[in-house]
Amino acid sequence: MDLPSLRKKPTYAVLLSALQALEVKPNSWNKSTAAESSLVSDEAVVQRFLMSIIASDLEWIPESTDIGGEFLTALEQKELLVDLASRRVAERCGRSAMPEMTRTWVIPASSNLPEIKFDIREPPLTGDNLGLKTWGTSYVIAKKLENFGIQYLDHFFTKSIVSRSGTSKRSLQSGAKVLELGAGTGLVGIAAGAVWGAEVFLTDLLDIADNLLFNVEKNAPTVGEFGGHISCGVLDWREPNQALEIVPVKKFSILLAADPLYDDDHPALLANVVEKFLQDDEGSRALIAIPIRDNATRALSEKLSNLMAENGFLVDCSGEEICQDDWEASNGPEVKLLWTFWKRTIISKSTTEN
């Protein structure tokens, strides 16, 4: 695609269409549309074009233009173009420069379920609030949940319920509750609610809680259509006892944690929280998914595995996927994603006697 030259005084419509074509769409959003963002291969040319629009007074734009029956003043046209150019620059600067946005995540239809869409809000990233972004791991895991339910959690499912389409659907037994740790924007827990027809409690740090609540409320009707229920609250791994007052049950049958390790203290904190909140029985499972971005995350992952083993947990099953984060300088590298279902080996005496 050739970008219009400002020297030739292009019209509002020409500039608008060029700016729309330059949108950078994230990888995990939709692979096929990501390719559209590379219409112009030389990013330096794109950056110059965008900055020239922002810097120009676009004085050739007429006082009033009819845009599909709507009249825009010259000022309105210039503001729209400069806003869009600024957004395109922000997209190219990395996710942290992006304004708030809502992204639609699609779980493709299967033989048992229709396509399910979730709208997930991401505020602008501030500081190190990583939970305000939806990470590649969570989308990979969300798409695998149905299969995980059939293969590794079958003992928790009732045979079927009637879904909105009138077809039968597997559903998690009402007694089997799900807890998500470090839910971030909530994609995995919300998807589990719908795909498994499950009651899910999503948790994260206090700073992340408002946005998580927004996404839970926004997607609760969709989850409800599939027989599930979602709610959320604060569970800081450093102070797990404080969460005891707000969690719906003290022990959960299934724990979920996607991309939870990035600090040295995370493996010990997470292993402790899993020990505290996972039901004391043979059937309960903790699904932990870790993207191995570098040697540091590999070391954190190994540390977690050792601590889980020390706490009396065993790998029930595990596997690998490929995931990719977006909004890095030019889309993040593909990384290996390790997922593991942990189960207890030592069941406490009080539980076995009950």
Ligand X SMILES: C[S@@+](CC[C@H](N)C(=O)[O-])C[C@H]1O[C@@H](n2cnc3c(N)ncnc32)[C@H](O)[C@@H]1O
Nearest to 198 by CA among 251, 254, 117: 254
The answer to whether 125 contacts ligand X (rule: CB under 6 A) is: no
The count of C-alpha atoms lying within 13 angstroms of the C-alpha of 182, restricted to the half-sphere facing its C-beta, is: 24
Taking the complex as a whole, how short is the minimal distance between the CB of residue 3 and ligand X, in angstroms? Answer: 34
How many whole angstroms separate alpha carbon 323 and alpha carbon 272? Answer: 27
Task: List the one residue from 81, 116, 120, 205 that touches ligand X (CB under 6 A).
Answer: 205
Q: Are 84 and 113 in contact (CB under 8 A)?
A: no
The answer to whether 259 contacts ligand X (rule: CB under 6 A) is: yes
The count of C-alpha atoms lying within 13 angstroms of the C-alpha of 28, restricted to the half-sphere facing its C-beta, is: 26
Backbone torsions φ then ψ of 120, nearest 5 degrees = -120, 120
Which residue number, 98 or 183, has a Cβ lying nearer to ligand X?
A: 183
The answer to whether 208 contacts ligand X (rule: CB under 6 A) is: yes
Q: Please identify, among the stretches 135-143, 193-201, 216-224, 303-311, the one whose residues bind ligand X according to the rule CB under 6 A.
A: 135-143
Task: List the one residue from 10, 131, 197, 267 that touches ligand X (CB under 6 A).
Answer: 131
How many whole angstroms separate alpha carbon 40 and alpha carbon 59? Answer: 26
The answer to whether 130 contacts ligand X (rule: CB under 6 A) is: yes
At residue 57, the 3 state secondary structure works out as coil
The answer to whether 84 contacts ligand X (rule: CB under 6 A) is: no
Instruction: Count the residues of the shown chain that bind ligand X, applying the rule CB under 6 A.
Output: 21
How many whole angstroms separate alpha carbon 41 and alpha carbon 30? Answer: 20
Taking the complex as a whole, how short is the minimal distance between the CB of residue 200 and ligand X, in angstroms? Answer: 13
Task: List the one residue from 197, 260, 267, 332 that touches ligand X (CB under 6 A).
Answer: 260
Taking the complex as a whole, how short is the minimal distance between the CB of residue 192 and ligand X, in angstroms? Answer: 12
The answer to whether 227 contacts ligand X (rule: CB under 6 A) is: no
For 113, 161, 227, 316, the CA distances from 107, given in Å and listed in that order, are 9, 20, 17, 25
The residue ranges that bind ligand X (CB under 6 A) are 130-131, 134-135, 137-138, 182-185, 204-205, 208, 236-238, 258-260, 262, 269
